[in-house]
Amino acid sequence: MHKPLALLGLILGAAALALQLVVAVSAGGAEAAIGYVTSLLVIANLVAVLVYAGELTNAAALSAFRTKGMQGMTATAMAFAMLFYHLVAADQLHPEGLALISNVALGYVAPTLFVSYWMVYLTTGSLRLHHVAPWLLFPALFICWTLLLGTVTGIYAYDVLNVAAEGWGAVAINYLTFIAAFLMLSVFAVGFDTEKKPTPDHAPQH
């Protein structure tokens, strides 16, 4: 069941990402383009697709996505993206038609599938708290990316991250909350993994 589920996740994720791209291209304009490349759902699901691909192939280029640290970070990112979409972005976006289908697939179905897949097949008891620090690069780089494009174009994918509308003070608080929530989910993920007894092939990573 391990490989078929990974294949299902790969197909679902790739199809949803492609559909979201079609929606963005159809909408046209800079706002749609910036919205796509700075979408937390798109970025998290793209990493998840690469993890699935790494599990299904022996490609050397995907070796980083076969590490337990990267897989744990991806599960955390997918869970975070789902919560962020449900609690924050869904009320702002109000998608319809194909956009609704792609958002539901990327925001609910794909994260649920990946986190379940990770919990059942990819946890080995090898993660430790020291893995959390590099995981925080994910939200940090996302913040830098959205700030860079937002500053240059004046377009932000999410209202809560819009410096022009909210001001630096409010957005700074939102960003700190963003990182704190990701940190809590990361600690939970490590805690869940540590409950698994390390197998001989997956001794704790240092």
- Give a yes or no: residue 144 inside a domain: yes
**pTM of the full structure:** 0.90
pLDDT tens-digit map of 175-192: 999 999 999 999 999 999
Least confident of 23-32, 107-116, 196-205: 196-205
DSSP assignments along the chain, one per residue: -HHHHHHHHHHHHHHHHHHHHHHHHHH-HHHHHHHHHT-HHHHHHHHHHHHHHHHH---GGGGGGGSHHHHHHHHHHHHHHHHHIIIIIHHHH---HHHHHHHHIIIIIHHHHHHHHIIIII--S---GGGHHHHTHHHHHHHHHHHHHHHHHS--SSGGG-HHHH-HHHHHHHHHHHHHHHHHHHHHHHHHHHTSPPPTTSPPP-
The pLDDT score that the predictor gives to residue 205 is: 47
- Give a yes or no: residue 23 inside a domain: yes
Across the range 10-26, mean pLDDT stands at: 95
- pLDDT of 119 > 90? The answer is yes
| Number of domains making up the chain | 1
- Give a yes or no: residue 43 inside a domain: yes
pLDDT band at 197 (very low <50, low <70, confident <90, very high): low
Domain that holds residue 88: 2-194
The pLDDT score that the predictor gives to residue 94 is: 78
- Give a yes or no: residue 203 inside a domain: no
pLDDT tens-digit map of 44-95: 999 999 999 999 999 999 999 999 999 999 999 999 999 999 998 887 777 7
The pLDDT score that the predictor gives to residue 93 is: 75
- Give a yes or no: residue 120 inside a domain: yes
- Give a yes or no: residue 56 inside a domain: yes
- pLDDT of 201 > 90? The answer is no
The pLDDT score that the predictor gives to residue 159 is: 86
- pLDDT of 133 > 60? The answer is yes
- When the pLDDT of each residue in the chain is averaged and rounded to a whole number, the result is 91
